[in-house]
Structure 1
Amino acid sequence: MSLPPPSRTSPGPRRRTLFASAAGGVLAVVGAVGVSGCSGQPADGDSGSGGSPSAADRTRARAARDSLALLARYDAAIAAHRTLAARLRPLRAAVARHVTAFGGDQAKAAGTAKAPSSGSPSGSASTPVSGPASASASVSPSGSAGDTPETAKDALAGLAAAERELAARRTAALPDVPGELARLLASVAAAGAAHVFLLTETEGGR
């Protein structure tokens, strides 16, 4: 009596599910660090005299603006390509949590994607981001509804490029910031790397 050959397929979760779970775990760390960072800002180091913002304060504010600008890109992509909504909304929600973790505008982060004509999250988020990081519109998180590519494929590629550039920049900044903020930046950078995978994964790569 011969035994049936072992099955080659195992009922394991898809890779996208695994990466989404990993990103969720990172976001839990982000939330915890964000709370401790906000409640213990003096531990972040050199508060300037005379009310001047410290280097850590400036880095935190910049990170909040960058995440808010990235959020605007997600809103623009969802508004322009409704077929991407189910795929992008969980990532958008994660970026919104990044905004609040860095102490950014909670009202804007809590908004939802609207038609491009409303322009509320997109137009207001892109303006504050300045400096070398926003020099290249193709990879900068500071996009707007008018910059959204015409095809869904290009929209995903643009979001992935923005996430990748921002994660790399935050990782590079880690040696220059104090402990709590460094941990927060590292956690958000890791979440961004997971987002890049989810944005670039094809339907066949499960």
Structure 2
Amino acid sequence: MQRTGTTRRSALTASGALALGALLTGCAGGTGSDRGAVPADARSASTRARTALRTAAARTSHALRARYAEVAAAHPATAGGLAPLSAAVGEHARAFSQDVPAPSAPAPAPSPTDARAALKELAAEELRVADERAGTLLTADPETARLLASVAAAGAVHAHLLTELAKEIAS
């Protein structure tokens, strides 16, 4: 039996075709010379928002790296496993700081006396930061959004690796 009427697929295809047609015809209005032009105040607001987002992300990465150093110092048995993850977090901080001044990171909280608990807390912090970064994707410019998504994915992987390291470490 064949369906009749409008299906979801055909409605989406039609709306996509309409949007593409509107984009190609340049329905932004105005003359050809001002079509697509962004006012200077909108550009500067966009630049300020981008800088603020990257600065906050850099600050978070610097704080996370300090947390890694704190855990490694408090629990030397974890230092070997934490070193590559800490280095990656440092690279993330540098990537976010590329176009903005490097912010100062707050002092990390003291690490728990138990190595497993410290690693589990660090994993939870990585997940919290990854979720926070994923939550800002919709408000970020395309380049920053790609960077945030990549770093958030890396943070989720770090959380998994930290959880696995916690299982391997003898307290």
TM over 0.5: yes
Which of the residues 48, 55, 64 maps onto 2:44?
48
Residue matched to 2:82: 88
Taking the TM superposition and a 5 Å limit, the aligned residue runs for 1:42-191 are 46-48=42-44, 54-103=48-97, 125-126=105-106, 144=108, 146-191=109-154
Please report how far the alpha carbon of residue 154 of structure 1 lies from its aligned counterpart in structure 2 after TM superposition. Answer: 1.1
Q: Structure 2: how far apart are the matches of 1:60 and 1:47?
A: 16
Please report how far the alpha carbon of residue 87 of structure 1 lies from its aligned counterpart in structure 2 after TM superposition. Answer: 0.6
Aligned length: 123
Identity %: 47
Tell me the alpha carbon deviations over residues 18-63 of structure 1, each in whole angstroms, 9 at most, x when there is no partner: xxxxxxxxxxxxxxxxxxxxxxxxxxxx5426xx961111000000
Please report how far the alpha carbon of residue 147 of structure 1 lies from its aligned counterpart in structure 2 after TM superposition. Answer: 1.8
More helix by share: 2
Residue matched to 2:16: none
TM-score between the two structures when normalised by the length of structure 1: 0.55
Q: Which runs of 5+ in 2 are unaligned?
A: 1-41
Q: Structure 1: how far apart are the matches of 2:67 and 2:43?
A: 33
TM-score between the two structures when normalised by the length of structure 2: 0.66
Aligned residues: CA RMSD: 2.3
Residue matched to 2:163: 200
Residue matched to 2:20: none
Q: Structure 1: how far apart are the matches of 2:146 and 2:153?
A: 11
Tell me the alpha carbon deviations over residues 99-145 of structure 1, each in whole angstroms, 9 at most, x when there is no partner: 100016xxx9xxxxxxxxxxxxxxx521xxxxxxxxxxxxxxxx62x
Structure with larger Rg? 2
Tell me the alpha carbon deviations over residues 143-187 of structure 1, each in whole angstroms, 9 at most, x when there is no partner: 62x521111011101110110000000001100111000000000
